[in-house]
Every structure is written in structure tokens, then in C-alpha cells.
Structure 1
Amino acid sequence: MSKLKLYQNERLDFLRKQEDPLADQAVGELMRQPEIISQINQWTEIPDTLPSNFTPSLQEFFLEYKQELTDQEKEILKQGQSFFNKQGDIYLAMLGFYSLPYCYAFANGAEVLVRSNRIVNESGKRLGETAKFLLEVFRPGAFLNSGEAFFICAKIRLIHAFSRYFIHHYSKDWKEEFGQPINQEDLLGTNLAFSLLVLRGMRKIGISISKRESEQILGYWKILGKLMGIQTDYWPDNNKEAFELEKLIRLRHMRNSKAGEILIRSLLSYYEQNQREAFLKGKSESLVSFMIGKEASSALGIQTESIFTSEIIGAIFQFLGWKNYAGKKSHARFIQEFEEGYFQQFGEKVRIQLPERKRS
């Protein structure tokens, strides 16, 4: 049955008021027992037997990740991982130059992000954590042969709940018009940015993506969305539904905001400071502008006329792929280059951790 009838303003208005009760209850318990946060941060995956000091809310949250995958889900995971194994470098590039900037153009959602000092002041580390998340959930055998990817999704879900907790308890300038922080509509929009828009960006630079491949990626992100607390009843099952849902969210929320401008300037500054290719120095804004288009560029207050074309960008990414991988792309190569580059830049390994708070 088509989900197009779900994509109405009244229904999305409802989703803006919805958060993630299971994760929010778990974070409430963690705030009361902060020593458990340190305990969780020591894990590499969710243990089969949960510690005896976990409250019922924490038990319920983590037990949700012990449910068996269906045969259909297993096949979708295998197909998605095969796709990433071939296109992972471009996927990550689209994340940085298309998906994230595009998200910043959505004014109400940007209000959550701009309240994170790490996103504004440590753009590189925050971008690295997002790349690490993608590399882990698309790792060959992820969810199928080990439990590490389940744990990564659980941590991201809890990090979202921590953000909601801090805004509810400490932000004095949060407005009702923003909706609930990291609400269900914004979660759907972010997942679309990491799936539909990535593929849209690939096509924009001349990479051929079949209808079957794009719907496999949508199916992959439905599984990820469920693991991260998204109400997947609204998640699109095909390209038409994805197109219509993204269009409606864009019409509802894409507009200029101070928050969006702060976020994009921070990101562009990071790109310029760390650009390794001399021929791209000084061109980060133009590259992002080309990828996200005139409407989103205008919403972010950046230049709307790009010096690039599809052919030029396609040639640049083709050259960088040859330079970095010499025609031998694979997930193992992607993660090796990413981890080496991150360590060289920051002098540490990238880790996705829950925020720890010490008792006073």
C-alpha cells in the first residue's frame, strides 16, 4: 500500500511533536546513574547478559537490539554493503559536500545542531564521527556476523536522546515553533539526506544509479532508522515515495536562519583549512553550492552561482578515486584511509562515545 497518503502537513506536524520515548527514558536513567555511561562506553558491542545494575528502562532499551533479523532484511543488508564496497568514497564525499550542508538549510532542525559546541567549534571531529558511523554500519558483514553495528546505532540513538535532554533541561531560548528537539520529522529528513540525497548527488556528477540500487539503499536506511528509533511506518518504500516525502519536508522547512549560516560557515572553514588538493583550495563554497543547488545555497547565505559543472565535478572525483585507490576500491581501503587521515590530523582514533558526566 502506498505511503503517499501519509505525506501531509497535518501528519508531519504531529511527527514534529514526537521524540523517542524508549531512548529518552534510558537517558533519564543514565543521568541519574552517570557511572553507567562510563560502563557502556567501555563496550565494543551489547553483551548477551546485561549488567545487574541496569534499570528496567535500560534493560528494555538494549534488549530491543537483540531481535532477530528477517531473511529479507539480511538480503537488503548484503546488497547495501556490496554497493558501499564499490562506491563508499563517493558516498562519504556526498555526505560532506551535499547531505550535511543540505540539512543545515532546514531552519528548525538547524536550531538543535547549532546548540552543539562540538559541531560549531570541532567540525572536523564531528564530521569524522559521522563518517565513522557510516563506515561501521556499511562494513561487510555488519549486523550479520557481529554485533558492533547494532551497538553503534544504539549509541547514536542515545546521543540524540542526550541532546534532547540537555535542550529540555538547560536551553532557555528553545522555542515551541522549532518543534521537539530531534523529533521524528527531523529524523526522517536526516535519514533521507543520508540515503536519497547521497544517490541524487551521485547522479548529479554523472554516476549511474539504477532504480533497484536506490531502493536497496532506501531499504538499508529503513533498517538503520528502526535501530535509531525512527517511526518507520512513514519511511518510503520506493523512489516515488522518497521523492515526495523529501519535497514536502523541504517545502515546510527550507529557509534562511542564523543557525544554518553559523553551521555552514563553520563547515566551509574546516574544509578550507584542511583542503589537501591545491586545485580545490578556495573553492569549497562553490563546490557545496553546486551540490546543494541554488535554493539551499540561498537559504544558507552562500553563493548561488557555482564555477563547477557536473562534468567537472565528476572528473574531479574520478581523479581523486584513481589517486587514492588506483582502481582498487573496497571498504577496507576506505576505512584505512579514513582512520589514517583522522589520526594524522587529530592525533587520536575516532570514537563515538556517550557524553560522560561526573557526579559533583
Structure 2
Amino acid sequence: MTDERWTNEFLDAMREQCDPPADEAVRSLFAQGMVGSANGLMKQLVAHESVTAEQLPVPLRGYFEQSAKLPSWADKELIREGQAVFSRCGPLSVVALVCASLPICYAGAEGVQVLHMTARLQTDTQRRIVETAQMVVDVMSPGGLEHDGWGIRDAQKVRLMHAAVRHLIRQSGRWNPEWGQPINQEDMAGTLVTFSVVTIRALVKLGYTLSAREAQAYYHAWRVVGYVMGVDERLLPESFEDGEVLTDVILGRVLHACPEGQAMTKALIDLLEHIIPGNLFDGLSSTLIRYLVGEKTAELIAVPPSDWTRALVKPLKLLGWVMDESDEQNIVAEKLSELFGRKLLEGIVWVGRGGERPPFRIPDSLRETWNVRSREQQL
């Protein structure tokens, strides 16, 4: 039964709503022929360079000033506690991102159309993973959601990019109105909960037990990000428990099989196999995705079949963590998944965004806590 706050009628209406402040800023940029200036700004933001108000194109000044403001309900202590959770389980959070959050997004048959339209599957999959992981690190690092923190900047940048994509897709004539508006409010909220609720659920399945306070803190930090990114507050429930309800309602509506989502998933799995060094974890990406998203969703996005126990036992034996067959019944998923997450982070650090884009960065304090080697240490 659909929660009376988030009925099908309400969510159908949200599929026709987007983000007026960001959309108007982008419309003004195009109307005034200032897209080149905006592209230069985006490169500065990606490079983590500071940008003054005077450097901003005029149509963007109001947007950046207004969108940097946190909501009145933002709780700084809760945000810090949520970031502390991330500090303790960062590698597992990255596993949750690439093996749960992104695959579930790809199972959203209408929302994934935007990703597929804008993707060159080989090059863009790598860039999307790296830049999404960078945003997660920036948001959840200490100070990331403080005034002018890099998490705030990332959220503002992504919000503006969404508006630009909407503008270009509408002009392309390729969009099917039956999908709702491109990057609409329901799809924005659905994506947001994959970073909060879906990640928290995945962490539990990976063996990391969160207290009710920790779950609420982690969720609250991403709720604040959702506000900065222009998500309607009616789609930002206050409590983690209500966030879980909204998650299940939205996912129950939008998850369907489609060729585009399956192609995006295949590109993701292929990339994960490529960027993780060695062959110790071969096949584990598919196994983890099936385990974290569930068999039903895995079938929608055509994840290759796998045997969770057999896939885990081989690497654990090679590492000396499983000494005899009787230990197979007591495999601890967290231990292997955390190692997988560290190797994945090192792979992301190594491959970066590609081209002339700046490298992936992890604050030294987090890198040391997670025992993740820098690019220089990998040489």
C-alpha cells in the first residue's frame, strides 16, 4: 500500500517537476551566449579551485549564492556524526556505491534514459564512477558541508549540470514525454536515497552494524545534500525510517527491465573488473551486486549469475583467512568487502577521470585511516 504522503498521483506529478532556479540559470546562460564561460567555471570546480563571485557568469551569481544556503533544519552535529561513520567505513561505502547505489539507479527504466543518452559507455562510465565517488568523499569528509565546503560545491555543480542536461535533451527531440521530464523530482529523490538509505542497507549486509543514531546521522547528511541539489522538501522526509518508506515506494514504481539499464550495468561491471588490480577479485563485482541489490533487481539489469559462497571462499583461502572447509560456513562478508573496497579506491585513484581532468583526491586523514595507497605509492 502506498504511503498517503507519497501517493502515485503525487509522485506522478513530481515526474513533471524539475528545478526552476537551476533551469532558469541555465536558460539565461544559453540565451546570453555564455555557455563557454560556464564550461570554464565547471572545470575550475572539478579541479577544486576556489571561485569568487566576480568570476561567475552573471546569470549564475544568484544561483550560487542561493543554492549554497543550508536548510534551517540542518543539524551540524548530526552531519559531523554522519561524516564520522563514513570515516570509519569509507571503503565499504564505496563498495555500496558501485555495487548497490549505481546498479539500482540503472534499474530505473525511465530515469536511466538520461544517463544512456549522455553516455559514451567506455569513457563516460569511468568518469561517472570517479566523479560520483569524488562527490561522496567530498560530501562526507569533515567540513564537506560547511560554508563553501567541497561537498556543497559538488552539489551545486551537479545540480547545474542536471539543468544543462535537461536543456540539451529537450532541444534534441529524442526525449519521450511518457518518461516524465528528464531528471525530474521523483528521479532526483530516487537517486538521492540510493546514496543514503540504499547505502546504509548495503553496509548492514556487508557486515557493518550501525546504531539507530548512526543511521540517522548518515541519512541526515545526505538529506541536507538533497536540499542543496534542489530536491523538493516533500521528498526529503526527516527520519531515516520515513526515508526507508519513501525509498521502497519510489523503487517499487520505477524499477523495470530495459536494454539501456542493462547496457549501463554491463559497462559498470566491465570497468570494475578492469580497474581493480590483479585477478584475486575476478567475478566478485557481479557477486556483490547480486547480493546487495537482491536477485529480482539483479535480473532486471542482467547481472551475470554467481554463487555468493563459492565466490567468497576462493579469495579468502588465497589470503589465508579460510583454513579448512568448515570455515566456509562462517565467512565474514565485511572483511573481504572492505579489502575489495580499498583496492577499488586505489584503482579509482590510479585511473582517475581520464584526459586532462584533475586526479581523484582523498583527504590524507581518510586515506591513512582506510589504508588506501596514493597514486605515488602505487608507482
Q: What TM-score range do you get, normalising by the shorter chain?
A: 0.7 to 0.9
Task: Answer whether contact 1:290 1:306 (CA < 8 A) is retained.
Answer: no
Structure 1 residue 152: deviation in Å? 1.6
Structure 1 residue 343: deviation in Å? 4.5
Greater relative contact order (Cα < 8 A, sep 6+): 1
Task: Answer whether contact 1:164 1:182 (CA < 8 A) is retained.
Answer: yes
Query: 2:333 matched to which residue of 1?
Result: 313
> In structure 2, what is the Cα distance between the partners aligned to 1:281 and 1:346?
27
Query: 1:30 matched to which residue of 2?
Result: 29
CA RMSD of aligned residues (A): 2.9
Structure 1 residue 276: deviation in Å? 1.7
Cα distance change, pair 338–232 in 1 and its aligned pair in 2 (3 A): farther
Query: 1:254 matched to which residue of 2?
Result: 255
> In structure 2, what is the Cα distance between the partners aligned to 1:38 and 1:319?
37
> In structure 2, what is the Cα distance between the partners aligned to 1:348 and 1:164?
24
Query: 2:162 matched to which residue of 1?
Result: 160
SS in 1 for 2:277: coil
Task: Answer whether contact 1:123 1:270 (CA < 8 A) is retained.
Answer: yes
Task: Answer whether contact 1:4 1:241 (CA < 8 A) is retained.
Answer: no
> In structure 2, what is the Cα distance between the partners aligned to 1:6 and 1:246?
13
Cα distance change, pair 50–351 in 1 and its aligned pair in 2 (3 A): farther
- Find out whether 1:269 has 2:270 as its counterpart: yes
- Find out whether 1:54 has 2:54 as its counterpart: no
String of CA shifts for 1:64-123, please: whole Å, max 9, x gaps. 145366585322221122111111111111101111011111111111111112455431
Matched to 1:252, the amino acid is R
Matched to 1:79, the amino acid is E
Cα distance change, pair 106–306 in 1 and its aligned pair in 2 (3 A): farther
> In structure 2, what is the Cα distance between the partners aligned to 1:250 and 1:208?
24
Cα distance change, pair 51–307 in 1 and its aligned pair in 2 (3 A): closer
Structure 1: gaps spanning 5 or more residues:
325-333, 353-360
Task: Answer whether contact 1:339 1:350 (CA < 8 A) is retained.
Answer: no
**Residue pairs, 1:71-90, within 5 angstroms:** 72-90=74-92
String of CA shifts for 1:99-152, please: whole Å, max 9, x gaps. 101111111111111111245543112100101111111121123264433222
Query: 2:189 matched to which residue of 1?
Result: 188
Cα distance change, pair 52–128 in 1 and its aligned pair in 2 (3 A): closer
**Residue pairs, 1:1-360, within 5 angstroms:** 4-31=3-30, 32-41=33-42, 42=44, 44-47=49-52, 49-51=53-55, 54-55=58-59, 58-67=60-69, 72-118=74-120, 121-144=123-146, 146-172=148-174, 174-303=175-304, 306-308=307-309, 311=331, 313-320=333-340, 337=346, 340-343=349-352, 349-350=358-359
Query: 1:355 matched to which residue of 2?
Result: none
Cα distance change, pair 286–23 in 1 and its aligned pair in 2 (3 A): same
> In structure 1, what is the Cα distance between the partners aligned to 2:274 and 2:75?
41
> In structure 1, what is the Cα distance between the partners aligned to 2:56 and 2:132?
32
**Number of equivalenced pairs:** 335
Structure 1 residue 282: deviation in Å? 3.2
> In structure 1, what is the Cα distance between the partners aligned to 2:303 and 2:143?
40
> In structure 2, what is the Cα distance between the partners aligned to 1:104 and 1:111?
9
Cα distance change, pair 239–34 in 1 and its aligned pair in 2 (3 A): closer
Q: TM-score, normalised by structure 1?
A: 0.84
> In structure 2, what is the Cα distance between the partners aligned to 1:301 and 1:320?
22
Cα distance change, pair 285–52 in 1 and its aligned pair in 2 (3 A): closer
Task: Answer whether contact 2:162 2:183 (CA < 8 A) is retained.
Answer: yes
Residues 255-264 or 142-151, more deviating = 142-151
String of CA shifts for 1:257-311, please: whole Å, max 9, x gaps. 0111111111111122223242211342222112211111111122455334794
Task: Answer whether contact 1:218 1:237 (CA < 8 A) is retained.
Answer: no
Task: Answer whether contact 1:215 1:237 (CA < 8 A) is retained.
Answer: no
String of CA shifts for 1:197-216, please: whole Å, max 9, x gaps. 11101111221011111111
Matched to 2:209, the amino acid is S
SS in 2 for 1:6: coil
> In structure 2, what is the Cα distance between the partners aligned to 1:68 and 1:209?
26
Matched to 1:132, the amino acid is Q
String of CA shifts for 1:9-30, please: whole Å, max 9, x gaps. 1110011000001111111122
> In structure 2, what is the Cα distance between the partners aligned to 1:71 and 1:175?
37
Equivalent pairs: percent with the same residue?
26
> In structure 2, what is the Cα distance between the partners aligned to 1:189 and 1:17?
15
